Chains A and B, each alone.
Chain A
């Protein structure tokens, strides 16, 4: 079945790196996404990675994909208080339309 799992909480010190992990089940997923949700807001697309890539870097964000283990991670370098939010991992399921399966979200808390 389709399932995406994430740990629920992560607490880091300001300036440190944060690593948020995700596992998914559908090996046919073509794209995997990371979304960010700040309090009271909708989901903001952070980055995505195509399934034939191992790594993607975008400024402070690094996405690593281990397709064999179906494991996706998001690393945020030099984490700031503004990075405090809920981070959702999502996999795309191919079909008649773009269906995304979301994880439950990881709440990142950044403390001084």
Chain B
């Protein structure tokens, strides 16, 4: 148990559906991250929020829309996805803008997404 939870753990959706992934951290961190992990590529950083402000959008298609309402919660809204978007989506959090090992990112268990 890392203190980062993700729901749902598994999601199957059609290409025309709209769904959301949720991440919650109980570590008092102020930065949160979305990563995509697929069989074909190593971990890909998608979005970063620091102090509830988006600081990185790593050329992610607009069919993925992040939302960070507060420092403990992070969402990834999905719409009109493609089968190639099927992957494990991992959320992480860290204590940002601090130099030292507290920069360490702690990961949730991930949401396994399958797009039909």
On A, residues with C-beta under 8 Å from B are 30-31, 33, 35, 40-45, 48, 50, 88, 92, 96-100, 102-105
Contact = CB atoms under 8 A, between A and B. Distances in A.
B42 A30 contact: no
Given A97-B31, A97-B50, A31 B42 contact: no
A98 to B, nearest CB: 4
Interface stretch (B61-69, B74-82, B103-111): B103-111
Nearest to B51: A97
A8 to B, nearest CB: 11
Given A102-B43, A103-B42, A105-B42, 7 more contacts: A41-B110, A42-B90, A42-B110, A43-B90, A45-B2, A50-B101, A98-B96
Interface residues of B, number: 27
Given A42-B2, A42-B90, A98 B103 contact: yes
Contacts of B97: 96-97
Given A44-B2, A97-B55, A102-B42, A33 B107 contact: no
B99 A30 contact: yes
Nearest to B50: A97
B55 A96 contact: yes
Contacts of B55: 96-97
